[in-house]
Amino acid sequence: MEDKNDKSGLLREVVDGATGIIGSYAATLTHLFRKPVTEQYPEYKRPMPARTRGRIILTRSPDGKERCVACYLCSGACPVNCISMQSEEGPDGRRRAAWFRINFARCIYCGLCEEACPTLAIQLTPEFAFSKDSIEAFVYEKEDLLVNHGGKDPDYDFYAHAGVAAGRPKGEHIGEDEPVDVKSILP
């Protein structure tokens, strides 16, 4: 009885081993006749999805003006503090960044700056290949970041919506109450 069990166990091991070997050879032979999928980078650069989080740009409104109003929200949202800037008022009265700096050596490409931006100025792009041979070269200034297009949403114009007069005085819109004179409710 014991001898019979030994024989059937041995036979099962032989069958399992042979199946494994035949299976692996079959997989190898199948791949021998398949078209290779090797991509010759950098001669061929695979198109990346539009939402890929790569190098950051500063975009412009449809009128060609800078979208960034130097509100500091992106630098406040950045978890690694790699954005810095100084605000100023431009000759046309629009607020803008006098200088704007991103240290790409610290950036972790999380996209939080883009999420925080109210004007869609700062955007991450699919560009990922911008390695440098010195760490200082990763510090990009405004002139390196500013582009001549609107990026992912070219039609959006922050200034067309923000800071525009509502048309009627406060309290005269539909369902709106007269503004309260705060001095009248002081004790």
Q: Name the binding residues for [4Fe-4S] cluster.
A: 68, 71, 74, 78, 107, 110, 113, 117
**Residue 68: CB partners within 8 Å, gap ≥ 6?**
58, 96, 97, 100, 119, 121, 122
User: Of 153, 120, 124, 137, whose CA–CA distance to 55 is shortest?
Assistant: 124
Least Cβ distance, residue 44 to ligand SF4 (angstroms) = 27
Q: How far is the CB of 60 from ligand SF4 (least distance, A)?
A: 12
The conformation of residue 104, written as its DSSP 8-state character, comes to: T
Residue closer to ligand SF4 by CB (options 38, 124) is 124
**Considering only residues 57, 59, 60, 107, which one is a binding residue for ligand SF4 as defined by CB under 6 A?**
107
Residue 71 lies near ligand SF4 (rule: CB under 6 A): yes
Contacting range for ligand SF4; rule: CB under 6 A; set: 23-31, 37-45, 100-108, 164-172: 100-108
d(CA 137, CA 151): 24
- Alpha-carbon radius of gyration of the chain: 31
